[in-house]
Amino acid sequence: MLNAKPTWKSTLKTLLYLAPLLLITAVFTIWPLLNAFLMSVYTKYNYFTDHVGAIGWNNFAYLWHDPLFHLACRNTLLLALVATPLTVALSLLIAYGLNRIHHLARFFRTIYFLPFVTSTIAVGLVWNWIFRLDGGLLNRILGWFGYSAIDWLNDPHYALAALMVVCVWQGLGFNILLFLASLNHIDQRYTAAARLDGANAWQRFTNVTWPLLLPMTILIIVNTALTNFKVFDQVYALFHGSAGPGNADLTLLYYLYQKFYVENQYAVAAASGVIFFLLIGGVTLLTYGYFRHRRRQMGGRL
């Protein structure tokens, strides 16, 4: 019975335990996964009868020529490129601070984590009210300092910045916790030794703490970038179900939603989903690859 090799009988018995998971996963993950790729090459498709008229690359050609899709790609990349470093840097700063102080660290940690448990839609509506032209909190504060009010949500120049603020605000909590976990695991003796050697606080951070944090930082960068690539709820709530002034906040997922749910162009939406998948897969691999390369360059220091 114990430590035995698997037999057909034990396999059959185990299947009873695995059956619920396998059934749901097969129907709602594996089958749609295959379908998502197949659908992207269907060109004449009736989804209700499941009849495929023809297959080809037309959907991808459509995306290639669609200025809205270009805009969605541009916005998503811009959002990820600005919001990701900002989120990571700020969460590292706060985590480092939490690691330095003794009093109230737990209290602060609880506060910083609150946005993580908060409904994006609900708080997105609050942000909509904060960014409002007349009576919004932000413009009231700007008014104090004598600045004129800015129409954050209706001015295409500011709409993406507003979205970035919301993404950074919501992304901090989880990252702070991850950085804290990593910081707590750094042996105090390393920094103490550096101090004895005469290193100041900044030198101790750049030469001791930062290299030790690097593996966690890579994980956090990839994680945050992926989150920022998948932004949808924030846009929907911030602009009450639109993609902002002149599609200024049209993200890739919002494009997919619009093509799929609003315009009923299922195959085009599926093709944009495939591009989205390749893009985030590519970004993940590139980030890991780059840092692995850097690590090898740094050689013995890590």
Partner 1 sequence: MNRHPWLTLFWGLVLTIGAVLTLMPFVWMILTSLQPAATTLSIPTSWFPRSLNWVNYLNIWRAAPFAQYCLNSLLVTLTTTLGQLLTSILAAFALTHLRFYGRRLLFGLLLILMLIPGELLIIPNFITLAQLHWINTYAALIVPWLASVLMVITLHQAFLSQPKTLYYAARLDGASDWQYLWHILVPTNWPVITAVTLLQVIGSWNAFMWPLIVTNDDARRTLPVGLMAFTTEQGTNYPLLMAATVCVIFPLILLYLALQKYLVSNILSSHSKG
Segment 136 to 175, residues that bind partner 1, using CB under 8 A? 137, 140, 169, 172-174
Residue ranges in 8-47 that form contacts with partner 1 under rule CB under 8 A: 8, 10-11, 13-15, 17-18, 20-21, 24-25, 27-33, 35-36, 39, 47
The CB-of-192 to partner 1 minimum distance in angstroms stands at 7
- Region of 73 please: left (phi>0), alpha (psi -120 to 50) or beta: alpha
Nearer to partner 1, 139 or 247 (CB): 139
Nearer to partner 1, 150 or 237 (CB): 237
The CB-of-228 to partner 1 minimum distance in angstroms stands at 13
The CB-of-299 to partner 1 minimum distance in angstroms stands at 21
Q: Kindly report the number of other CB atoms within 10 A of residue 194's CB atom.
A: 17
The CB-of-191 to partner 1 minimum distance in angstroms stands at 9
Residue ranges in 72-131 that form contacts with partner 1 under rule CB under 8 A: 90, 93-94, 97-98, 100-101, 104, 108-123, 125-127, 129-130
Residue type at 183 in one-letter notation:
L
| Helical packing angle, 67-100 and 266-298, nearest 10° | 40
Let me know if 168 is exposed, middle or buried by CB neighbors in 10 A (0-12, 13-18, 19+): buried
Instruction: Show Cβ contacts of residue 121 under 8 Å, excluding neighbours closer than 6 positions.
Output: 233, 236, 237
**What is the C-alpha separation between 250 and 281, in angstroms, rounded?**
21
Does residue 260 interact with partner 1 by CB under 8 A? yes
